[in-house]
Homo-oligomer: A and B are copies of this chain.
């Protein structure tokens, strides 16, 4: 049984209560949102140490952090450290994207340590295991894929990215329209390679009912992946991207009928002036399903600064209605993020989510800003540091920038010409 079933029966679950309390809203608001599909609480029945979070309409914007082992960095410890840092920095959910050795062991270790919703992309494991047996991606069987999905569900994964909307018809649009970067989604690329070689429809689309059965059994939230998300500004909002979104809209309907929680993933690289349209289109086509965006990135050229690029796009997206931001680290397009990259990535996305929550009028969002403004006015540095989004960084930076300061109240920016002081005397 899923939260949807209960919500439709009029029941308020413990998870709904906890989410309502965290968000400062009425539990009935959460129940109604889940019943209607505008809110999800990714909470697998087998994720026992979970502190549930809600994602969707009327709730604060959430942030996800990705990590996971890879062939070049197979160590689990390092990824656990990233998990810790991400959650400390305020990540509301994490995704384990491991493709290194021992994927199952890694996932189970991470699951045991994770109190926030945990997501995965099962096709990564299905692909890597196929390759590890000496075969090619295209040799993966439908059974291989569903076996991994069921394993993830059974292990307690709260949400899974499944690229169900990438059909042969979508690929036809892709080939027709001549993209610059074709496909940049890893899952999308595996699926496309498989489909074209085997001349078969996407099994996640063809056997979607089977996927829904697994999701229903464990209450796994489906995160419908956008395999054809644009990988550069020039490819944004093209026919293949929007065709996939049409299919995702259909699949949202079917998930709701099956009482399975569902959200939709979105772009990607998108020019700033196209972001609002993308969000509103998704909300219409997918009938208000929670929207999980990967960026959006508003320029392709800022190698090393993509956390900033993503914060710019993420604020626009979330203020236009996106509910969930996947972080982007300064290492994006360069390599696997370090622990410090993870921290910086989460912080940038948290800033975007917070700025957007103020813009879209999320209840209570402005409160901390008002407190900070008051602390600034009274030159109360201790309080400013406490209220800062990253108190540790604020404290260190304050100390580093004010070593020569004679007056503890002000700062080296203005010294004794502090506007606050001058005005206080004048008014």
Stretch at the interface among A78-86, A217-225, A229-237, A250-258: A229-237
A 394-427 contacts with B by CB, 8 A: 394, 397-398, 400-402, 404-406, 411-417, 419-420, 422-427
Interface centre among A231, A411, A415, A417 (most CB of B within 10 A): A417
What 1/0 flags go to A373-396 for Cβ under 8 Å of B?
110110000001101111001100
Given contacts A175-B427, A413-B335, A427-B182, contact A299 B189 (CB under 8 A): no
A316: chain B residues within 8 A (beta carbon) = 315-316
Interface centre among A298, A304, A384, A415 (most CB of B within 10 A): A304
Given contacts A137-B422, A376-B300, A420-B181, contact A196 B319 (CB under 8 A): no
Given contacts A180-B377, A305-B351, contact A372 B419 (CB under 8 A): no
Given contacts A373-B181, A397-B330, contact A189 B422 (CB under 8 A): yes
CA distance A404 to B72 in the complex (A): 6
CA distance A290 to B300 in the complex (A): 28
- Are A352 and B312 in touch, CB under 8 angstroms? yes
In the complex, whether A164 has a CB less than 8 A from a CB of chain B is: no
CB distance from A130 to the nearest CB of B (A): 12
CA distance A321 to B309 in the complex (A): 19
- Are A302 and B189 in touch, CB under 8 angstroms? no
CB distance from A97 to the nearest CB of B (A): 10
CA distance A276 to B221 in the complex (A): 37
Stretch at the interface among A35-43, A103-111, A112-120, A356-364: A356-364
CB distance from A321 to the nearest CB of B (A): 13
In the complex, whether A284 has a CB less than 8 A from a CB of chain B is: no
- Are A419 and B299 in touch, CB under 8 angstroms? no
What 1/0 flags go to A305-317 for Cβ under 8 Å of B?
1011101100110
Interface centre among A303, A368, A389, A424 (most CB of B within 10 A): A303
CB distance from A34 to the nearest CB of B (A): 27
A335: chain B residues within 8 A (beta carbon) = 397-398, 400-402, 405, 411-413
A 8-67 contacts with B by CB, 8 A: none
In the complex, which of the residues B99, B137, B315, B417 contacts A186, with contact meaning CB atoms closer than 8 Å? B417
- Are B426 and A302 in touch, CB under 8 angstroms? no
In the complex, whether A3 has a CB less than 8 A from a CB of chain B is: no
In the complex, which of the residues B301, B347, B370 contacts A180, with contact meaning CB atoms closer than 8 Å? B370
- Are B426 and A389 in touch, CB under 8 angstroms? no
In the complex, which of the residues B73, B232, B315 contacts A404, with contact meaning CB atoms closer than 8 Å? B73
What 1/0 flags go to A114-140 for Cβ under 8 Å of B?
000000000010011000000001000
- Are A373 and B180 in touch, CB under 8 angstroms? yes
- Are B70 and A415 in touch, CB under 8 angstroms? yes
In the complex, whether A142 has a CB less than 8 A from a CB of chain B is: no
Q: Which residue of B lies closest to A273 (CB)?
A: B359
CA distance A180 to B366 in the complex (A): 13
- Are A419 and B272 in touch, CB under 8 angstroms? no
In the complex, whether A210 has a CB less than 8 A from a CB of chain B is: no
CA distance A69 to B123 in the complex (A): 57
In the complex, which of the residues B181, B305, B377, B415 contacts A181, with contact meaning CB atoms closer than 8 Å? B377
A 73-106 contacts with B by CB, 8 A: 73, 99
A 243-294 contacts with B by CB, 8 A: 271-273
Q: A180-B374, A234-B373, A299-B389 given. 15 additional CB < 8 A pairs?
A: A99-B417, A186-B422, A189-B420, A192-B423, A197-B426, A233-B366, A234-B369, A305-B351, A308-B347, A311-B311, A333-B411, A334-B402, A334-B411, A335-B413, A337-B401
